[in-house]
Chain A
Amino acid sequence: MAPPQAGEEYVVLESIDGYTFVVPHAVACESGTLRSMLDEDAAFEESKNKYCKIQQRGVILLKVIEYLAYKHQYKEFNAEDIKEDFSDRIDPYIALELLTAADFLEA
């Protein structure tokens, strides 16, 4: 994760086992669920505090965030121009758990 920079908006994501991640707002919003959660117009508790508790283990949440960053980085690219395959970075041990997390978070 890139260190937080001034002027950028950050949100905090907390895993069920107590790890917290400071994530750029734009990266978090790559997830549909997180985007709704942080929607300022809807003004739910999370968007007010910029603090989201996610019911996932830290290790899963970390991978999710890694994927969101990856998605954010290649947002503007055509599929054939992307050389890096994210699937190489997934540990089979957590694959299924990651899958349900992805479904929940609309990642």
Chain B
Amino acid sequence: MAMSMGAARRGKPKIRPPKRPTANTPIKDTWAKLANAIREIQNHNASKLSYEEHYRYAYNMVLYKDGDQLYNGVKALVAEHLDRLAEENIVPTFPRSGGTRGAGKLGGGAEAIERAMEGDRFLKAVKAAWEDHTGSMRKIKDVLRYMDKGYSAAMNLPLIYDVGLTLFVSHIIRSTTHPIHTHLISTLLSQVQLEREGETITRSTVRECTDILMRLRTPEREGGKTVYVADFEPEFLRRSAEFYKLEAVDMLETGNAAQYLRNVERRLAEETDRTVHYLSTNTHPALQEILVANLLTPHLQTILDMPGSGLSTMVDSDRIPDLRRLYTLFLRVPDDVGKTRLRGGLRTDIEARGKAVNAGNVDRSEAGPSTLGQDDGDAEDDPKGKGKAKATASPAANALSSALRWVQDVLDLKDKFDSILEKAFQGDKQVQVSINEAFQSFINANPRAPEYLSLFIDENLKKGTKAKSDDEIESALEKTIVLFRFLHDKDKFERYYKNHLARRLLYGRSASDDSEREMVAKLKSEMGFQFTQKLEGMFTDMRVSTESANSFRNYNTRHGALPFDLNVNVLTASYWPQPIVATTTCTFSAVLQPAMETFQKYYDSRHSGRRLTWQGNLGTADVKVRFRNRSHDLNLSTHALVVLLLFEDVKSGESISYPEIKSATDLPDADLARTLQSLACAKFRVLTKIPKGRDINPSDRFEFNEAFTSPLARIKIMQVASKVETVKEREETQEMVDEERKHQVEACIVRVMKDRKQMTHNDLISEVAHQLAARFTPSMPLIKKRIEGLIDREYLERTSDMGSYRYLA
């Protein structure tokens, strides 16, 4: 203290002793007066008292070493007062029915309201007692300031105000004479319970009481926690758990997942609100945990699988808000269990849908308008389907449309789940992985997926199928790339794609060169340079052929003009798919021979050491044909031209037999049959088949149809090309793919072994499988067989312990 220090520093010993405080009143009287004053304070009569006087009494008592008596005396007075408060104010307001112990319903209607009111009244009484007590304690504390400073602190005793709080706990909250504790806790619980059941309670009263409990601490020996934490919270949490356990069962019985989740969400929000408004925010995490543990964790699968409202139904009807709710709630389940279940559920659901798509029995009405245009397109696109009766679509057209529909269905499904993922699952990466896995599994479950996918792309890149904008095509291709990623047998896809591309290029049916190149670029970025090398080679061939066409025309003019225009596409055999460049025999008509020879000469003059093989199967020809009524310009395939030229010298009414045609043209049966079909059985019948019918038989005869009429001057006779593979063709393709795979596996084994020199069997197999995974999934027996093959051919040898292989250079 500044003054005393100052005095001490001066040090001049002229200090007079202070006048001793007048202790003229004996201690007993002092205490009597003080006790009286405290009672007055407790009776709210403080304003009649002189603070100075009573402060001085307490001061004197402490100074004359009577702090002990003062401290304990006050304590006793406060305790006495509290007992009186309990007796007079709290006990009469006890709720009639006492505490409810169970978690069961408290009954509704008037009774519930009655109970709410009773509880409220009781809690208000407790609250009033608290306020009365704390009010008087504050004043007592003021008067006994000197005691707190000079006695309590020195003796290491709690300050008088804190003593008051402790006494409140022992004499009111945990009173031994009255069951206040039981009533208080159970009333608080039943107030909460009533609110959970939809009754209105006075939140402020509950808030005030929980505040009191939070202010008070239990005695040191019980850990000194707040009474709220020690007495109320555990009981509250237990009751909450019971309540929600029952509610979960009740709600599940109603059998509506969406509604159930809505309820859970509402409950979570309600309990948050509750903890904020009249419980402790510290209770919040524990309470939310209980809700999740009782409402969600045990019932995840039940919710997902709930018939008529579970995950499938939500996905079916695109109920984004429900799905979003499902996702956010499932995320709350600890240890990622919820998400794992959701992912599992999604996978099962997608696989089931995929199975339906694969089986081709998707409910079309549900798939939306995007597929309607598709069906129209198919009909227009197929000349054969139109040529015959419209009602009976040809099997080929059916197969094509089912292929396109399959891809479209998969794309629709993908779109659907993409949008769900985006909108409802916040683009969750893990969920995305599961969705992708599911797609992968069902797409690869369809053995024809690579073919279908390529057909779909073909459909989009083809000229004149539908009026599609570049953007539409672009987005369609973008989507197919996504499906392409899911494919395991990428080499199979490459084969189909090459076929389809070759046809588009040679028939000049590509809608746009840009789109074609873009698609190839996309494939390239997916699969790397090797994958598209041949595809790009095909483009190059086409470009070079167009360029050389000009120079050939110049060559022609110099060397005497040909009787007709000749346009030759020179194809590099190794780039183009096998069936196209495979050598097919064909005897070209004498009319055509000179032109071919001219080109041969021209080509040899340009390049040396190259061998030209003439392929008529993918060429087209424009020819003017005179019929009885008028002449028409026909655009037909080179083979068709060769066949048609046979009829040039045949008199009207005469016919040529199939064997005659065959020997004259030397075409293979399959090609010849197709060619004749397109001339005699399709939409424009320039030949007449005898007898009539759809299929070509060796016994058939053909004559020129002079009576042919058509309003069109220019007629395009398309080769009846089977678009979707027949079973036999597919087997062939599979064989070719298998053959190629053998080579690839061998190449890969050699590559690996060349690098490592020596490797164990298992390492080698896993390395090869890994390297090839991008193109296809090689089977174990296949790799083993190839290894054996290489050993036979002495590329590899077994080491002496038989477990490893060694590379032989």
Q: Does A78 contact B (CB under 8 A)?
A: no
Contact A92 B46 (CB under 8 A): no
Q: Which residues of B contact A93 (CB under 8 A)?
A: 14-16
Contact B2 A97 (CB under 8 A): no
Q: 1/0 per position for A65-107, CB-CB distance to B under 8 A? A: 0010000000000000000011110101111111110101011
Q: Does A9 contact B (CB under 8 A)?
A: no
Q: Given contacts A102-B4, A104-B56, A107-B3, list 10 more A-B pairs with CB under 8 A.
A: A33-B55, A33-B145, A42-B139, A43-B46, A44-B142, A55-B56, A87-B9, A96-B17, A99-B3, A100-B21
Q: Does B59 contact A (CB under 8 A)?
A: yes
- A46 and B15 in contact (CB under 8 A), knowing A86-B3, A102-B1? no
**What are 12 residue pairs bridging A and B, where the CB atoms are less than 8 Å apart in the complex?**
A33-B146, A36-B145, A39-B142, A52-B51, A53-B50, A87-B2, A92-B14, A93-B14, A96-B15, A96-B18, A98-B3, A107-B3
Give the distance in Å from the alpha carbon of A67 to the alpha carbon of B7 in the complex.
Answer: 14
Q: Kindly identify which residue among A42, A85, A94, A99 contacts B142, using a CB–CB cutoff of 8 Å.
A: A42
Q: Whose C-beta in chain B lies nearest to the C-beta of A63? A: B3
Give the distance in Å from the alpha carbon of A59 to the alpha carbon of B21 in the complex.
Answer: 16
Contact A44 B18 (CB under 8 A): no
Contact B15 A95 (CB under 8 A): yes
Contact B6 A90 (CB under 8 A): yes
Q: Top 10 closest A-B pairs, CB basis?
A: A87-B6, A95-B7, A97-B18, A44-B51, A36-B142, A37-B51, A96-B18, A42-B139, A45-B50, A43-B47
Q: 1/0 per position for A5-28, CB-CB distance to B under 8 A? A: 000000000000000000000000
Q: Does B65 contact A (CB under 8 A)?
A: no
Q: Kindly identify which residue among B18, B48, B56, B149 contacts A99, using a CB–CB cutoff of 8 Å.
A: B18
Most chain A Cβ neighbours within 10 Å, of B5, B52, B146: B52
Give the distance in Å from the alpha carbon of A87 to the alpha carbon of B143 in the complex.
Answer: 30
Query: What's the dominant secondary structure at chain A's contact region?
Result: helix
Residues of B within 8 A of A (CB): 1-7, 9-10, 12, 14-19, 21-22, 46-52, 55-56, 59, 138-139, 142-143, 145-146, 149
Q: Does A54 contact B (CB under 8 A)?
A: yes
Q: Which residues of A contact B52 (CB under 8 A)?
A: 37, 46, 52-55
Give the distance in Å from the alpha carbon of A67 to the alpha carbon of B4 in the complex.
Answer: 12
Tell me the smallest distance from the CB of A105 to a CB of chain B, in Å: 10
Contact B46 A99 (CB under 8 A): no
Query: What's the dominant secondary structure at chain B's contact region?
Result: helix
Contact A102 B59 (CB under 8 A): no
Contact A36 B47 (CB under 8 A): no
Contact A92 B142 (CB under 8 A): no
Q: Which residues of A contact B139 (CB under 8 A)?
A: 42, 44
Contact B21 A92 (CB under 8 A): no
Q: Which residues of A contact B10 (CB under 8 A)?
A: 87, 90, 92, 95
Q: Which residues of A contact B14 (CB under 8 A)?
A: 92-93
Give the distance in Å from the alpha carbon of A95 to the alpha carbon of B18 in the complex.
Answer: 8
Q: Whose C-beta in chain A lies nearest to the C-beta of B47? A: A43
- A88 and B6 in contact (CB under 8 A), knowing A55-B56, A106-B145? yes
Q: Kindly identify which residue among A36, A41, A102 contacts B3, using a CB–CB cutoff of 8 Å.
A: A102
Give the distance in Å from the alpha carbon of A52 to the alpha carbon of B50 in the complex.
Answer: 9
Q: Which residues of B contact A107 (CB under 8 A)?
A: 1, 3
Residues of A within 8 A of B (CB): 32-33, 36-37, 39, 41-48, 52-55, 67, 85-88, 90, 92-100, 102, 104, 106-107
Give the distance in Å from the alpha carbon of A77 to the alpha carbon of B142 in the complex.
Answer: 28
Q: Whose C-beta in chain A lies nearest to the C-beta of B1? A: A102
Give the distance in Å from the alpha carbon of A46 to the alpha carbon of B50 in the complex.
Answer: 6
Q: Which residues of A contact B6 (CB under 8 A)?
A: 85-88, 90, 95
Q: Whose C-beta in chain B lies nearest to the C-beta of A41? A: B138
Q: Which residues of B contact A87 (CB under 8 A)?
A: 2-3, 5-7, 9-10
Q: Which residues of B contact A37 (CB under 8 A)?
A: 51-52, 55
Give the distance in Å from the alpha carbon of A87 to the alpha carbon of B10 in the complex.
Answer: 8
Tell me the smallest distance from the CB of B62 to a CB of chain A, in Å: 11
Give the distance in Å from the alpha carbon of A94 to the alpha carbon of B3 in the complex.
Answer: 11
Tell me the smallest distance from the CB of A90 to a CB of chain B, in Å: 5
Q: Whose C-beta in chain A lies nearest to the C-beta of B136? A: A42
Q: Kindly identify which residue among A42, A52, A55 contacts B46, using a CB–CB cutoff of 8 Å.
A: A42
Give the distance in Å from the alpha carbon of A92 to the alpha carbon of B12 in the complex.
Answer: 7
Q: Which residues of B contact A99 (CB under 8 A)?
A: 1, 3-4, 7, 18
Tell me the smallest distance from the CB of A16 to a CB of chain B, in Å: 10
Contact B142 A67 (CB under 8 A): no
Give the distance in Å from the alpha carbon of A41 to the alpha carbon of B44 in the complex.
Answer: 12
Q: Whose C-beta in chain A lies nearest to the C-beta of B14? A: A92
Tell me the smallest distance from the CB of B726 to a CB of chain A, in Å: 100
Give the distance in Å from the alpha carbon of A82 to the alpha carbon of B5 in the complex.
Answer: 16
Tell me the smallest distance from the CB of A50 to a CB of chain B, in Å: 12
Tell me the smallest distance from the CB of A102 to a CB of chain B, in Å: 5
Give the distance in Å from the alpha carbon of A107 to the alpha carbon of B50 in the complex.
Answer: 20
Contact A90 B7 (CB under 8 A): yes
Tell me the smallest distance from the CB of A63 to a CB of chain B, in Å: 8
Give the distance in Å from the alpha carbon of A107 to the alpha carbon of B3 in the complex.
Answer: 9
Q: Whose C-beta in chain B lies nearest to the C-beta of A37? A: B51
Contact A46 B51 (CB under 8 A): yes
Contact B48 A96 (CB under 8 A): no
- A86 and B46 in contact (CB under 8 A), knowing A42-B138, A92-B10, A97-B16? no
Contact B19 A97 (CB under 8 A): yes
Tell me the smallest distance from the CB of B98 to a CB of chain A, in Å: 38
Contact A45 B3 (CB under 8 A): no
Q: Kindly identify which residue among A44, A97, A104 contacts B49, using a CB–CB cutoff of 8 Å.
A: A44
Give the distance in Å from the alpha carbon of A30 to the alpha carbon of B775 in the complex.
Answer: 89
Give the distance in Å from the alpha carbon of A45 to the alpha carbon of B12 in the complex.
Answer: 42
Q: Which residues of A contact B142 (CB under 8 A)?
A: 36, 39, 42, 44
Give the distance in Å from the alpha carbon of A59 to the alpha carbon of B16 in the complex.
Answer: 14
Contact B15 A92 (CB under 8 A): yes
Contact B3 A90 (CB under 8 A): yes
Q: Which residues of B contact A52 (CB under 8 A)?
A: 51-52
Contact A36 B55 (CB under 8 A): yes
Give the distance in Å from the alpha carbon of A53 to the alpha carbon of B55 in the complex.
Answer: 12
Tell me the smallest distance from the CB of B19 to a CB of chain A, in Å: 6
Give the distance in Å from the alpha carbon of A92 to the alpha carbon of B47 in the complex.
Answer: 39
Contact A96 B16 (CB under 8 A): yes
Give the distance in Å from the alpha carbon of A92 to the alpha carbon of B139 in the complex.
Answer: 37
Q: Which residues of A contact B146 (CB under 8 A)?
A: 33, 104
Q: Whose C-beta in chain B lies nearest to the C-beta of A42? A: B139
Q: Which residues of B contact A43 (CB under 8 A)?
A: 46-47
Q: Which residues of A contact B4 (CB under 8 A)?
A: 95, 99, 102
Give the distance in Å from the alpha carbon of A65 to the alpha carbon of B14 in the complex.
Answer: 23
Give the distance in Å from the alpha carbon of A55 to the alpha carbon of B139 in the complex.
Answer: 21
Q: Which residues of B contact A45 (CB under 8 A)?
A: 47-51
Tell me the smallest distance from the CB of A18 to a CB of chain B, in Å: 16
Q: Which residues of A contact B17 (CB under 8 A)?
A: 96
Tell me the smallest distance from the CB of B37 to a CB of chain A, in Å: 10
Give the distance in Å from the alpha carbon of A107 to the alpha carbon of B146 in the complex.
Answer: 12
Q: Which residues of A contact B138 (CB under 8 A)?
A: 41-42
Give the distance in Å from the alpha carbon of A42 to the alpha carbon of B21 in the complex.
Answer: 27
Tell me the smallest distance from the CB of B54 to a CB of chain A, in Å: 8
Q: Kindly identify which residue among B18, B47, B51, B56 contacts A100, using a CB–CB cutoff of 8 Å.
A: B18
Tell me the smallest distance from the CB of B64 to a CB of chain A, in Å: 14
Most chain A Cβ neighbours within 10 Å, of B3, B10, B14, B146: B3
Tell me the smallest distance from the CB of B753 to a CB of chain A, in Å: 84
Q: Which residues of A contact B1 (CB under 8 A)?
A: 99, 102, 107
